[in-house]
Structure 1
Amino acid sequence: MTVFCIDLKSFYASVECVLRGLDPYSTKLVVTDEERGPGSVVLAVTPKLKSMGVASRCRIYDLPKDEEIIFAKPRMKKYIEYSTRIYKIYLDFVSKEDIHVYSIDEAFLDLTPYLKYYDKRPEEIAKEMLEKIYRETKISASCGIGDNMFLAKVALDILAKESPDRIAYLDQELFKEKIWKIEPLTKIWGIGGRIEKRLKKMGIKNLGDLARTPLERLDKEFGIVGRELLEHAFGIERTTVQEARNYIPESKSFGRGQILYEDYHYRDLEVILIETVDAITTELVARKLTCGLIALAVGYSANAGGGGFSRQRKLPCRTNSRKVLVENFLKLYYDFVEDRPIRQLRVRVGRLAHEDFVQTNLFVDPKREMKERNLYEALGKIKAKYGKNAVHLAVSHTDKANLLERNKLIGGHNAE
């Protein structure tokens, strides 16, 4: 198997530079919304700023004080447009069945069926692909090549981005030679901070250590994930690009979250919470689902010391009733919230089940419940046809509400 993993270099920032006729390698540009204040998240920075030690996903107040820095307001429609153009370039080389879009700026391509047709080395095909992307969009890209998706991704993350031609290859032997000693383990795809801490406690600091660890010990600590970790330590990955492309995860929960434009008094946040629960109710009914668990997380402003809380609560019966959900979320909120400025809110529902299989609640008027359910089904259909703001709560017109503005965004950012 021969798999490419292609990443578009500093994608959002590069698109903004291209639209301005600037070179991202010599321009100091960040993609963020200044109007949201100094605590706003920076979505991307140019390679020039990265070379100066500036990290993406920092906050505006973390940026160096430099008058040359250009602040670009996010334009999600433009980024989607460029991503679509680049996807069409991939289609010039492989079929859509052999492409797994991993994110807006990253994709896996299975070149295995095409090597004989092109009669070229994988590195040569990758070079042609990257050159065509740049020629047609002015966006630079990097490519990791591997015998499976994992090796391709690690080749991209660890080697290709530092290679002069931005292309790197790994097979299992090269993987042992070049990757086994890499530290910390969070540099390796699939190993997050929590897993790394648990591995450290076991005396495992790199993939070489992991490869020498008995499976029984990993099974005891991680369960089924232990076997996957050990296989990755040897560069083994059993999932194909086609399987990843066609995989539809079973949703056990879903929700919504936001970083607020400003600090909110805890009582003012009730408006945002009600708007959010209302939107979740509409989605539950549209998907013909009920929930048996609610979860709420609140983050306090950095100006008030930060911190926050995260709590969940089982419901007496599964439901998709807006009235029941609002009552329970508000109770959960006021049980734990403190009188401190709030900057973040996350709301989730879990223990999902199809509404056809839910037991009747003897303490609820079934006619009233069905009337509310039918109302939210109708609201969902109206929004699907005419847009999210076609119909909304009266509370969304109050001073502290923000749903109408957020509905104009894509992924929480400016949609222009």
Structure 2
Amino acid sequence: MSAKELTQKMILDVLNTTGITATAGIGTNLYLAKVAMDIVAKHIPPDEYGFRIAELDEMSYRKQLWNHKPLIDFWRVGKGYVKQLESVGLYTMGDVARCSLGGETDFYNEYLLHKMFGKNAELLIDHAWGYEPCTIADIKKYKPENNSIGSGQVLQNGTDYKTTKLIVREMTENLVLDLVSKNLVTDQIVLMIGYDRENLLDSARMSAYQGEFSVDQYGRKIPKHAHGTINLHEYTSSTSVIVKDVLDLFERIRNKNLLVRRLSMSANHVINKNSAMKNTYEQLNLFDLMNKQECKEEKEFQEKEENIQKAVLDIKNKFGKNAIFKGIVLSEKYDDIIKLPHFVSKRYPQMSMHDRAAQFSPFAALTGYDDLVKETARITDQKVYLDAYILNNLNERLCILKKKLSERTEVDITYF
């Protein structure tokens, strides 16, 4: 079976299973297969079978794509790469390939690219020529030196110190739950805080800010982000331990006067919990041995905390991630109105006590006061309750009626 026949079979399987027509790229290496799909296959008409399949080798890649623009269409070439390349007059992969051939005394040479991109220049040059030696076998054998898991948020608006701290706490708790769900532990947490560009428009904030500035991906000036690392004393997935240390880190690196727009957090050096227990050794201390009761209580607390974490995960997995959350998430949301008196409408009349009582009558019946409810209903049917709004309205009508009648007419009303 040829590569194209195998690809057709895979596309047909996707179509029959999902109803979606897929595109595919075939190349003499992983990079060319990726580029063939991303740039060529997605923009060609389907063949007689409805398939969109593109094929590239190194020579056809150079002929078809060395003049292709924009550069951002190529894999691993982002906005930052494009901006730096265009700043020195390189606009296509053909330009990059030619640049790599320059001599030591030329402006365009390999050194220029390494100066801009460091060791990643090697990948850029290889890909410009359509070359990639890495294979699927190499990828399968690869094991990262440091494993990590993380999460990030772009906040809807610039967020103040108090709210940001609450969000950081929530992110930390979710990260810990992720560790527990995968039976992992960590000994290092990294926190990044990105500030909002709207800070620059606030003269009071800027007058108090003495830090550095940086430029975002859109070329806009913003306060330089804060970045910090906390090393834990041992491998752990304890919520209480990690949350405390992360909040301490947050307090240390955060500028309280600036609004925050982005947050990211990662747990580094993560390993399997069972491996950590086997490979972790602690230096015995005579005074610790004398404090056995305290150690026992700490161990019991950690076991209880882990059981709570697993229970929370079970509930979220069964009923959805919003099925359970800590009350602290909402504790400060309404601080600005929590002490205000209850709202009274100035536009609409208040509900009468008669109507209010009707809302509660079923509860009275359920608690065994059936006879009282019936008696109340009987009396209510006979005598209409007149609240202040109805009385005022009635008095106004009576005054009008009195004027229409003679001045000698006495009008009186009894309320009961």
Go from structure 1 to structure 2 and tell me whether the alpha carbon gap of 1:325 and 1:136 turns closer, same or farther (over 3 Å shift).
Answer: closer
Kept after mapping to 1: 8 A contact 2:193/2:260: no
SS of match in other structure, 1:312: strand
Give the match for residue 265 of structure 2.
347
Give the match for residue 190 of structure 2.
294
Kept after mapping to 2: 8 A contact 1:257/1:347: yes
SS of match in other structure, 1:182: coil
Kept after mapping to 2: 8 A contact 1:277/1:325: yes
Cα separation, 2, equivalents of 1:260 and 1:223: 32
Q: Which has the higher helix share?
A: 2
Identity %: 27
Kept after mapping to 2: 8 A contact 1:144/1:167: yes
> Among residues 164, 175, 180, which one is paired with 2:61 in the alignment?
175
What one-letter code is carried by the residue in structure 2 that aligns with 1:210?
V
What one-letter code is carried by the residue in structure 2 that aligns with 1:275?
E
- Higher Cα radius of gyration: 2
Deviation of the 1:344 alpha carbon: 4.2
Q: After the TM superposition, which residues 320-339 of structure 1 pair with which residues of structure 2 at under 5 Å, given as runs? A: 320=236, 322-334=239-251, 335-338=253-256
> Among residues 151, 167, 173, which one is paired with 2:32 in the alignment?
151
Q: 2:121 aligned with 1:240, yes or no?
A: no
Gaps of 5+ in 1: 1-113, 116-120, 402-416
Kept after mapping to 2: 8 A contact 1:293/1:312: no
Give the match for residue 211 of structure 1.
97
TM-score (norm 2): 0.54
Please give the root-mean-square deviation of Cα atoms over the aligned residues, in Å.
Answer: 4.3
- CA deviations over 1:51-109 (Å, ceiling 9, x no partner): xxxxxxxxxxxxxxxxxxxxxxxxxxxxxxxxxxxxxxxxxxxxxxxxxxxxxxxxxxx
Cα separation, 1, equivalents of 2:283 and 2:178: 21
Cα separation, 2, equivalents of 1:242 and 1:202: 37
Cα separation, 1, equivalents of 2:224 and 2:302: 31
Deviation of the 1:175 alpha carbon: 0.5
SS of match in other structure, 2:153: strand
Kept after mapping to 2: 8 A contact 1:282/1:376: no
Kept after mapping to 2: 8 A contact 1:296/1:348: no
Go from structure 1 to structure 2 and tell me whether the alpha carbon gap of 1:259 and 1:220 turns closer, same or farther (over 3 Å shift).
Answer: closer
Kept after mapping to 2: 8 A contact 1:211/1:233: yes
Kept after mapping to 2: 8 A contact 1:294/1:349: yes
What one-letter code is carried by the residue in structure 1 that aligns with 2:35?
V
Q: How many residue pairs are counted as aligned between the two chains?
A: 282
Q: After the TM superposition, which residues 219-368 of structure 1 pair with which residues of structure 2 at under 5 Å, given as runs? A: 222-241=117-136, 243-244=138-139, 247=142, 249-260=144-155, 264-284=159-179, 287-298=183-194, 300=196, 310-315=225-230, 317-319=232-234, 320=236, 322-334=239-251, 335-338=253-256, 344-350=262-268, 354=276, 356-357=279-280, 367=295
Deviation of the 1:189 alpha carbon: 0.5
SS of match in other structure, 1:349: strand
What one-letter code is carried by the residue in structure 1 that aligns with 2:246?
F
Q: After the TM superposition, which residues 13-412 of structure 1 pair with which residues of structure 2 at under 5 Å, given as runs? A: 114-115=1-2, 122=4, 126-127=7-8, 129-130=10-11, 133-134=14-15, 137-165=18-46, 166-200=52-86, 203-212=89-98, 213-214=100-101, 217=111, 218=113, 222-241=117-136, 243-244=138-139, 247=142, 249-260=144-155, 264-284=159-179, 287-298=183-194, 300=196, 310-315=225-230, 317-319=232-234, 320=236, 322-334=239-251, 335-338=253-256, 344-350=262-268, 354=276, 356-357=279-280, 367=295, 370-387=299-316, 393-396=326-329, 398=331, 400=333
Cα separation, 2, equivalents of 1:361 and 1:226: 50
Deviation of the 1:277 alpha carbon: 1.3
